[in-house]
Amino acid sequence: MSIFSTHLPAIHVEHHKNTSECPTQKMPLPDKLYISMVQHIGAPCQPTVSAGDLVKVGQVIGDSEAFVSAPIHTGVSGKVVSIENSMSSVGIWDPIVTISVDKKQETAEGIVPPEVTDKDSFLRAVRASGVVGLGGAAFPTHVKFNPKNLDEVDTLIINGAECEPYITADYRTMMEDSELLIDGIKTTMKYLGIGKAIIAIEANKEAAIKKLGDMVKDNPEIGVFTLKPMYPQGAERVIIYETTGRVVPPGKLPADSGVIVSNVSSIVAIQRYIKTGMPLVSKRITVDGTAIKNPKNVEVLIGTPINKLVEFCGGYRRVPKKIIMGGPMMGRTIYDDGIAVIKNNNAILAFDQDWAEFPKETACINCGRCVKACPMMLMPTTIFKAYDRRDVEALQKLNVTLCMECGSCSYVCPAKKQLSFINRLAKQLVAEGGKK
């Protein structure tokens, strides 16, 4: 299958896919890794090592007994020099395991392909791999793959949209790890008992569409769906509607609509673990932006400081005014480039003063562009006014919790109001019951 469909509101953003034809380069080993114990939605991990311990590649160094969690592994051999709290990019204190790299890269005992024979052993393998949503969501994949109504799920959607500007890491995954991707789709379908898979890719990734389409042409249960190159096609609820026509009701999960969605990089990481036994210890990351000297796609070990990653890309060509983990629409601005790479980090974007300067806000002209752009059919300006009044009841009636903070409203606003950020604050106010 290869068709176009755009039903939900979407916007045109400049793609800036500057690194799309840059094959992935593997970064040399750093001297130290700084591995956070908070790398997914859910319960944080507790260190399973202590200062002074010797570790090897693939070894578990953090885990939790909580269901919504995933283990954390080291990608190097070396010595644990400290376990200390450090400020994360979201302003909270995370336990950080610091490892001095011995450059021997000795593999931990027991790194062998897992024995997978049925759904339960597959889900155990997915958890053991440490894989979470690598498209940015960071939700533990073994939890996503095990909804209470799995028997009602009939479609697996593989998210290859990558609709954020600049980022090309998933595109390179589809081009460079295509065999692992297709094998991973088949493995997931087999053990979860899902009969159909849709690989959804934006039309501006023609080579990936052709390559994957050719690879599955003899597999009628797997199709390639061509999305219009608009934003935010990669958002979970949007991509479900675009590819299947199904609506995920408020407060419900994709599985309630018979669908599971997984990012292409997550599927590849799972299949790599099943094939080799090596858990998730590295990431493919796009490094780009007006302040980066040599933009690249880089395979980097999780826990590598961002400033070392930038050095590998030639350093800064201009003084960076803003550095973002992720894309410019939904990524997080970081306060220090000494922060380390985490699992769901798919891009590092650094921009100079000209790009990063905030435009001056002006008065709302009631043009309605934000309403027309919202894929969740919300009313951002009305939410803005309700938040200004701290009116929790009104915010609830306006369904502010449905906002996925895609940034479309802010992008199209001629008054340059930070509507998406206000929505985030409004959601927090609702969650706290109006305490602030």
- Shared domain for 51 and 126, answered yes or no, is no
Residue 362 lies in a domain: no
What range does the domain containing 424 cover? 369-431
Residue-by-residue DSSP string for 266-315: HHHHHHHHHHH---S-EEEEEEESTTBSS-EEEEEETT-BHHHHHHHTT-
- Shared domain for 326 and 200, answered yes or no, is no
Q: How many domains does the chain have?
A: 4
Cα 368 to Cα 150, 269, 376, 407, 409, distances in angstroms: 40, 42, 15, 15, 10
Q: The tokens of 426 are what?
A: 């409004």
- Shared domain for 221 and 125, answered yes or no, is yes
- Shared domain for 176 and 250, answered yes or no, is yes
Task: Read off the amino acid at residue 183.
Answer: D
Cα 308 to Cα 31, 81, 210, 265, 273, distances in angstroms: 10, 19, 35, 23, 27
Looking at 107, 139, 156, which one is the last position of a domain?
A: 107
Residue 83 lies in a domain: yes
Residue 1 lies in a domain: no
- Shared domain for 231 and 124, answered yes or no, is yes
Query: What's the pTM value of the predicted model, to 2 decimals?
Result: 0.94
pLDDT tens for the chain, residues 1 to 436: 333 344 678 899 999 999 999 999 999 999 999 999 999 999 999 999 999 999 999 999 999 999 999 999 999 999 999 999 987 766 678 899 999 999 999 999 999 999 999 999 999 999 999 999 998 788 999 999 999 999 999 999 999 999 999 999 999 999 999 999 999 999 999 999 999 999 999 999 999 999 999 999 999 999 999 999 999 999 999 999 999 999 998 889 999 999 999 999 999 999 999 999 999 999 999 999 999 999 999 999 999 999 999 999 999 999 999 999 999 999 999 989 999 999 999 999 999 998 888 889 999 999 999 999 999 999 999 999 999 999 999 999 999 999 999 999 999 999 999 999 999 999 999 998 865 4
- Shared domain for 71 and 39, answered yes or no, is yes
Would you state the pLDDT for residue 136? 77
- Shared domain for 77 and 206, answered yes or no, is no
| 196 bridge partner residues | 155
Residue 114 lies in a domain: no
- Shared domain for 293 and 383, answered yes or no, is no
> Which residues lie closer than 8 Å to 63 by C-beta, 6 or more apart?
45, 46, 48, 69, 71, 72
Looking at 276, 293, 325, which one is the last position of a domain?
A: 276
Residue 19 lies in a domain: no
Residue 14 lies in a domain: no
- Residue 386 φ then ψ, to 5°: -65, -40
Residue 57 lies in a domain: yes
Q: The tokens of 46 are what?
A: 């507790």
Query: Which among 365, 366, 424 has a CA at the least distance from the CA of 395?
Result: 424
Residue 2 lies in a domain: no
- Shared domain for 99 and 124, answered yes or no, is no
- Shared domain for 174 and 236, answered yes or no, is yes
Would you state the pLDDT for residue 359? 86
Query: Which among 361, 336, 364, 366 has a CA at the least distance from the CA of 350?
Result: 336
Would you state the pLDDT for residue 89? 67
- Shared domain for 267 and 291, answered yes or no, is no
Would you state the pLDDT for residue 1? 37
- Shared domain for 297 and 156, answered yes or no, is no
